Structure 1
């Protein structure tokens, strides 16, 4: 009977056990050697069967034929477990996550399958190759070079190219190094545009136009090459002459700026003088027209006055003649400071130097005040002088009688 059969004295018969009381014989219990490998595998199989719902332990009849079958089944079960674990591990390696700003390009055995968007994804590992590409980030690439312009001058241009990836498949598969190809294409486009443009335009107001033309040509290159890149902006950061001749170019630019400034000043002066001259000419024309109308109206008025005066003169010649004489004398003597007095009955006209009298009166006043005779004072003085002259003439007549 085997030592581990039911009903046997397993405690005393276990060849590896250490609980026997055999003290004197050759059988020394658990101290005789290591446990059997088949037994260890069987125990592991039993534990796994219990975990996965197996049938538990099965009795065997020792180290004979039944024991060999049990060892073989234990080995096959162990390998099945290993395979299951390997499959689970392989399946777990195929799970991955694609971010919102990324796209995943899937290759199966080197052949393109699809492009996947954001989310949790799974592909069989070791069969499919997944490459993630960021498609929302704006990338920048700088470029600087010396080149020849249309008028055979050398300029140094520095520009910045901004671009994004729009087609991950073309970006990864069509071109070996898309960004390096972008650099070469940018230099080619820049040289083509600069070679067709004059230096003055590049150094002054033509930079914006230069950037637009380079962007259009560069985008055409990227579309023809199928690089999956979209050019968003081309900025011309700097355009200048080479450092060896920069001072001479600065002098030329300064001279051109002075020329433009002088032209602007001349135009401003012209815009200020020409309208003023036109205004003065128009004013002179208006004044001449007004003077003509004034002279014509005055002549017409004088002729009408003369006609009316002639009519009155024909009615009363003496009175009209006297009136004309008085009016004429009044006009002549209005601005004169001298007074002539014609006394009735006298033979000579008396002359009164009123200007001298007014100067004598003013010299008698204080130095801080100035006094002048107005019209009323002159009339008063004139009346007094006339009264005195009349009194003298009356007294002389009485004496003559």
Structure 2
């Protein structure tokens, strides 16, 4: 695997730390800016909205840029938004910087995905994507608790300065390893847009959104679930979150080595594991020695689905991967937004924290249901391609 792929993973780690760290900084931000905790929580929602719209817009806007220039531009803006966030005393300005930072982060994800795939080659798509997404997984294990510790001891602004520094270091890595100039295959907007009509892509997006929602509906409420229902003290929460992250890293690493050869079976196994783990969690939220392993299993199997989904999108996208990758980033953020929203509705209705496990299992079942549809669509697509090839060969031999 080229060294540049690992450095792209480092850039995702830097930006992913920013995505996650606010969950541990809300009390400090709310107190410092004199806003309520729910208002501070909107900073997390703003980040998700920025990512949702940023990926396709920036993918089209920078389609004919060199990928190196696009990624360096995105990282520069991302670092500057964190400098501005660290310096401001205005909640409104901080909110705007979160949207802007997420906007370019989504664009970076889209371009970095295509770059990593191109560098790794078609036989190692899933492995390259597992390294890229592994940066976000490591951010869960290291970045989230580190950002929280910085915020608690040096103030929340110090965490923003740290992300700006990490982003700058990532820029140096990209400048050193990603070649100048455009890729040999310059994307064409008309071809990219035409490719978006492929139903196989939209099935892959549905799998992405549903599988992500199944994980996030559980992950978003882990802290109160552990303290209010499972009965663990606050001190256990960081440890369980770290174990969840370790499980996620194991899952994404193993899956990345197998998803290129067996994408559908890897996806089916991963999602089945999520369903089983979510059901066990729903049934045992009050039993720590069962609930905690179930939570770790959700992370392990949930992240194991990531390389398979990404590999599928790129295999279907063919010669028009940029916009397809961008919409897959948006699909991830649909799941990130909808999963916690469904969990919030259930909790507001008084269903209790076991309900997030049941919702996660339900979304997992829906995600599994997209797999046979995707297999059927893939076979139909292969048949149509063979028929077209036969016609072309026939015409050539006739002439």
After TM superposition, is the score higher than 0.5? no
Structure scoring higher RCO (CA < 8 A, sep ≥ 6) equals: 2
* TM-score w.r.t. length of structure 1: 0.20
Higher gyration radius (CA): 1
More strand by share: 1
